[in-house]
Chains A and B, each alone.
Chain A
Amino acid sequence: MSSNGTMVKLSGVRKIYDTGKVKVEALRGIDLSVRRGEFMTLVGPSGSGKSTLMNILGCLDVPSDGTYEFDGQRVDRLPLSQLAEIRNRSIGFVFQNFNLLPYSTALENVELPLVFRGLGAKERRKRASELLEKIGLGDRMEHKATELSGGQMQRVAIARALANNPPLLLADEPTGNLDSASGREIVDLFEELWKAGHTIMIITHDPNLPMRTERTIHMRDGRLENGAAG
């Protein structure tokens, strides 16, 4: 894969949630390409399908219809264990509610993706503490997740997303639960990571954030609104 090739390519992707009585068509035919190294925001009203789209991009879910190529490989019909491996190696997630393991320390949380990769304890520790130092939490490594502030938790989550140095970072409203100062710090951090070469997509309701990214995708009713196929 060349460095400025296509990272993600969706064609005709649909997602239908079948909740027994009603069928919800959350994605109604999405065509989307994302180049390696892009920094983009995904915006749209609540319920428009942003999270659903991001779950599919992150291999947390599979499309009901259409195709998905990740890094040149068809992944829409892969078995669960291979999807797990892609998530582990190539995708980092950051969530609105942080999703840290609450009773584990910051260090242990950051080590987790390395555990699933099968790395030895020493190497895990080294890599995780380096990452925590880098995001300015070197003095909070042994703190339980529940003992950290929201901004600190989100930075731990970003460090965890970076553990296996994945090319793609996906963030679903990462500043949604933070005050504006902490939110700004997180966005700064993402910008740094983009400059360091990561491909980043952020879902946001913050009207100021799209101005800082290269590209903005608008969603409405399960469809992309403008020339997003890019």
Chain B
Amino acid sequence: MTLKLFLQYFWRDFRKQKKRATLTVAAIVWGTFSILMLLAFGEGLKDQLGKNQRSLGECIIIVWPGQTSIPYKGLPRGRRIHFRPEDVELIKKSIPEISRVGAEYSNWGVDVVNGKKVFSQHVTGEYPTYEYMRVQYAERGGRYLNDTDMEYKRRVVFLGYELNKKLFGDEPSVGQTVFISRIPFTVIGVGQNKQQMGMYGGPDVEKATMPATTYQSIFGDKYLDNLVIQPRDAETAELVKSRLYQVMGAKAQFDPTDKQALSIWDTIENQKDFAKMMLGMQIFMGILGGLTLLIAGVGVANIMYVVIKERTKEIGIKMALGARPQTIHNQFLLEALLICFSGGAIGIFISQLLCDLASIVPRDPTSSMSWLGNPTISLPIGIITVVILAIIGLTAGYFPARRAARLNPAETLRYE
């Protein structure tokens, strides 16, 4: 079969049954489009949700002091546990599986003032390790707290993105002075804007943060509000938690099996659950798109049966001239594939167009649109789609093609 003849007949049939063929191709286009969109937006959403999820921190364990629930060495139950600055050093030294540890003090309703602008804000005193653990990255031109700030109890402040906007608007703020609790602080950096999915004590973008030592000297808190620990490896999280109970139990006098003595939020576990959820979502979306394509495939099979009926005479002529059953079979299989791939190509084209459009639309990271992320037709998604189209084309074409190939040449030539 020459390609030219093949395409010629394909095109002629197509025009003869314009309506049916158009509907079938449209179904393939729609199926391809929906499966691609579902997968592409799924991918974008996954990326974006992952980013938001990580804006709290990458693989961190947050620990709050609790109350004992088991009597220990003659001490009664119901005793409050406290974290002190020296505990941070102790934990770091005693648990080698930990890569970073930090802690914070925090206080609400503290006046933060720039000239005539006065706001009552959430103010924290943090350890410099928070920069990486809690994703407290500075915008260009500024920085987060460092060890020297800690050591010298410097009066420096790191402003959350939104707080900075309220205090300074679009004016540059790094190097400027703000008053916190009527004490002057130099702004050293402004946090990057972030959409935060997990949080405690309020969003980071609304906070004013100073070195923990500075905070302690000003506000006089005896105890840290909470600790943040980052294991070297997500796999050792369980080990790190049980070590923490031992180390803190010995230090603060509680039974290491007393779960209530510490209150722990393991974001690593969350992240694992989250990954599973996203995978489930993508599988679900893929199945939906696949079903649409399946229905389209039935349409293709149907149209092929009609095509073969209408071309019975042509099949008979070809058989009389020596076309083998296999040749006839291949011809119709190829036609079914061609319908699928032309519909698929249009579907892929429209999807790509929409993805491009979606990524052109400007969005700031806190708007609701940003949840979509950047939908992308990745190579694996493209390959999956093409394979699905091929499978549908082959199965939809197989049975009609087999019928055509098994026709009796003499009968076929009598057909009018």
Contact = CB atoms under 8 A, between A and B. Distances in A.
Contact of B322 (A87, A103, A121): A87
Given A60-B320, A99-B313, 6 more contacts: A80-B324, A85-B322, A89-B322, A103-B9, A116-B321, A164-B322
A61 B2 CA distance: 27
B313, B318, B322 interface centre (most CB from chain A within 10 Å): B322
Given A61-B409, A61-B410, A104-B5, A81 B325 contact: yes
How many residues of B sit at the interface, in one of the four size bands?
20 to 34
15 contacts: A55-B410, A60-B319, A60-B413, A61-B411, A81-B324, A84-B325, A88-B321, A89-B322, A93-B320, A99-B316, A103-B12, A108-B5, A113-B321, A116-B321, A116-B327
Contacts of A16: none
A69 to B, nearest CB: 19
B410 A60 contact: yes
Interface in B4-34: 5, 8-9, 12
Interface string A72-112: 00000000110011011100010100011101100010001
A83 to B, nearest CB: 8
B4 to A, nearest CB: 8
Given A101-B317, A108-B5, A88 B322 contact: yes
A117 interface: yes
A87 B12 contact: no
Nearest to B414: A51
B321 A112 contact: yes
A203 B327 CA distance: 30
A161 to B, nearest CB: 9
Contacts of A100: 317
The binding surface of chain A is classed by DSSP as helix
Interface in B306-349: 313-314, 316-327
B320 A121 contact: no
A29 to B, nearest CB: 19
B5, B313, B314, B409 interface centre (most CB from chain A within 10 Å): B409
Nearest to A56: B410
Contact of A60 (B324, B406, B409): B409
A116 B324 contact: yes
A85 B327 CA distance: 12
B171 to A, nearest CB: 76
B408 interface: yes
B1, B321, B323, B410 interface centre (most CB from chain A within 10 Å): B321
A14 interface: no
B320 A99 contact: yes
Contacts of A85: 322, 324
A61 B320 CA distance: 10
Given A116-B322, A116-B324, A121-B2, A103 B413 contact: no
A160 B2 CA distance: 17
A104 B319 contact: no
A183 B410 CA distance: 25
A115 interface: yes
Interface residues of A, number: 27
Contacts of A113: 321-322
Contacts of B314: 101
Contacts of B323: 84, 88, 116
B15 to A, nearest CB: 11
Contacts of A84: 319, 322-325
A104 B410 contact: no
Contacts of B322: 84-85, 87-89, 113, 116-117, 164
Contacts of B411: 61
A138 to B, nearest CB: 22
A115 B323 CA distance: 9
Nearest to B412: A60
Interface string B241-262: 0000000000000000000000
A108 B2 CA distance: 10
A89 B321 CA distance: 9
Contacts of B316: 99
A115 B413 CA distance: 20
A126 to B, nearest CB: 15
Given A87-B322, A88-B321, A99 B413 contact: yes
A115 B324 CA distance: 11
B321 A81 contact: no
A87 B323 CA distance: 9
A160 B317 CA distance: 11
B8 A87 contact: no
Contacts of B410: 55, 60-61
A101 B2 CA distance: 14
Nearest to A117: B322
A180 B93 CA distance: 114
Contacts of B321: 87-88, 93, 112-113, 116, 160
Interface string B369-413: 000000000000000000000000000000000000010111101
Interface string A107-139: 010001101110001000000000000000000
Contacts of B324: 80-81, 84-85, 116
Contacts of A164: 322
Nearest to A170: B320
Contact of B413 (A95, A121, A160): A95
A96 to B, nearest CB: 11
B175 to A, nearest CB: 79
Contact of A115 (B2, B313, B406, B409): B2
A52 B368 CA distance: 76
Nearest to B2: A115
A55 B409 CA distance: 9
A85 B409 CA distance: 13
A61 B408 CA distance: 7
